[in-house]
Amino acid sequence: MRYESYISRAYYAAFILARNYLRDQEGISIPKISDAHRYVWEQFKLNPHPQRQLIANNLKRLRGYRRQADYVDKFPGLSGITIIALDLSEEVIAILSNL
């Protein structure tokens, strides 16, 4: 598997769990539009709780890395960013499991 795929999967693992948390635990209706990704990030950003702020920040960074991995031909430091993306995703997943 390519590094780009790891970054994409790391992002989607965190995003889907965050989306499902909002929908299932908080009863928030997630729009079925392409901007659902931003909507999920914003819902966590709107809450002042530090753990939710961390989720928002990590999701935003992961989304940026995923876009770069998907659309940029040359990605300097790709292997290092892959490790960062995996760590950020794991952190989001761990926080969500403890909310």
* Predicted local distance difference test score (pLDDT) of residue 28: 94
pLDDT digits (tens, 9 = 90+) for 24-72: 999 999 988 778 999 999 999 999 999 999 999 999 999 999 999 989 8
| Greatest mean pLDDT range, 3-12, 31-40, 68-77 | 3-12
Give Cα 32 to chain centroid, integer Å.
Answer: 17
* Secondary structure E strands in 1-99: none
Query: Which of the two residues, 77 and 85, has the higher pLDDT score?
Result: 85
Q: Can you tell me the distance from the alpha carbon of 15 to that of 19, in angstroms, rounded to the nearest whole number? A: 6
* Cα dihedral 19→36→41→20 (10° resolution): 0
